[in-house]
């Protein structure tokens, strides 16, 4: 197994405020990592630092063996940010155009979305059951549909790593099940490495093989079975280890 995300002694600061301190872990190809921690514990900060959006204050991150500051194969990493509450209602972007933005990292200038690209976008939208939304304005589809569109945008480049930041909050229970079934399929069949930020410990117990638990510092990193013995309710393991955090399990 090869390490495709290697984090060494990582510290991140916002001005004088320490957001992450001395985090180290190695994520292997094909891992499904549940990234958990309390609000303000640094989960999104860690994801953004992996994605190159925030600079490390100390330590370093290697992606596919390359220092993240020199890494330029961003098409290998798909990102689904937290729910898009901030989509500008005036923005005249169609769903198809938004999904096509996920292809830009693999393009050389002058960038162009080709007929073959549009065929791939059509196929993905059909596979995700949202092809009928392709020509609609992104601002005019529901929050749950927007979330599916953003997942399509993250998947269209066929990434080797998928980073998802609380992806299921806007989804109804049925869509949520379909969403996680798709992630499981990607992880098991395409060997896509998944880093899932969530407060839903139930999904972690069901799908993740590793747990990255941070509260500004590293609390735990390793196999789920080391954190919580098989057969035991994972929510109770969190409660035992960190009683002040309200963890919940999906129904």
Min separation Cβ 41 and another protein, Å: 20
Q: Which is nearer to another protein, 92 or 231 (CB)?
A: 92
Min separation Cβ 221 and another protein, Å: 23
Sign of the C-alpha dihedral, residues 46, 22, 66, 211? Answer: negative
Min separation Cβ 94 and another protein, Å: 4
Q: Which is nearer to another protein, 28 or 97 (CB)?
A: 97
Q: Which is nearer to another protein, 154 or 224 (CB)?
A: 154
Q: Which is nearer to another protein, 20 or 154 (CB)?
A: 154
Contact 216, 53 (CB under 8 A): no
Q: Which is nearer to another protein, 120 or 200 (CB)?
A: 120
Min separation Cβ 234 and another protein, Å: 30
The DSSP result for the chain, as a single string, is --EEEEEEEEEEEETTEEEEEEEEEEEETT-EEEEE--TTSSHHHHHHHHTTSS--SEEEEEETTEETTT---GGGEEEE-S--TT--TT---BHHHHHHGGGGGGPPSSP---HHHHHHHHHHHHHTT-GGGTTSBGGGS-HHHHHHHHHHHHHTT--SEEEEESTTTTS-HHHHHHHHHHHHHHHHHS--EEEEE-SBHHHHHHH-SEEEEEESEEEEEEEHHHHS-TTS-HHHHHHHH-TTS--B---
Tally of residues, the chain:
251
Q: Which is nearer to another protein, 112 or 251 (CB)?
A: 112
Q: Which residues bind another protein (CB under 8 A)?
A: 51-53, 72, 74-75, 77, 79, 81, 84, 88, 90-94, 96-98, 101-102, 104-105, 107, 109-113, 135, 137, 153
Min separation Cβ 214 and another protein, Å: 21
Min separation Cβ 110 and another protein, Å: 5
Min separation Cβ 194 and another protein, Å: 16
Q: Which is nearer to another protein, 149 or 237 (CB)?
A: 149
| Closest alpha carbon to 3 in 21, 20, 24 | 24
Locus of tokens 């992104």:
138
């Amino acid at each position: 197994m090869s390490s495709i995300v290697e984090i060494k002694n990582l510290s991140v600061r916002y001005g004088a405020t320490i957001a992450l301190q001395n985090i180290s872990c190695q994520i292997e190809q094909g891992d499904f990592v549940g990234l958990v921690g309390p609000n303000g514990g640094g989960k999104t900060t860690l994801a953004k630092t992996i994605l190159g959006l925030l600079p490390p204050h100390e330590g370093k991150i290697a992606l596919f063996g390359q220092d993240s500051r020199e890494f330029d194969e961003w098409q290998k990493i798909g990102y689904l940010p937290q729910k898009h509450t901030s989509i500008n209602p005036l923005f005249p972007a169609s769903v198809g155009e938004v999904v096509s933005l996920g292809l830009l990292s693999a393009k050389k200038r002058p960038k162009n979305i080709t007929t073959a690209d549009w065929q791939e976008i059509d196929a993905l939208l059909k596979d995700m059951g949202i092809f009928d939304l392709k020509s609609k304005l992104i601002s005019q589809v529901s929050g749950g549909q927007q979330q599916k569109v953003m997942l399509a945008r993250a998947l269209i480049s066929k990434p080797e790593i998928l980073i998802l930041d609380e992806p299921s909050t806007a989804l109804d229970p049925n869509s949520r099940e379909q969403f996680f079934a798709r992630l499981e399929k990607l992880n098991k069949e395409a060997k896509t490495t998944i880093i899932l930020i969530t407060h839903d410990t139930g999904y972690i117990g069901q799908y993740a093989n590793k747990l990255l638990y941070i509260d500004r510092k590293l609390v735990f990193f390793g196999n789920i079975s080391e954190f919580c013995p098989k057969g035991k309710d994972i929510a109770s393991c969190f409660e035992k280890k960190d009683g002040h955090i309200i963890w919940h399990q999906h129904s």
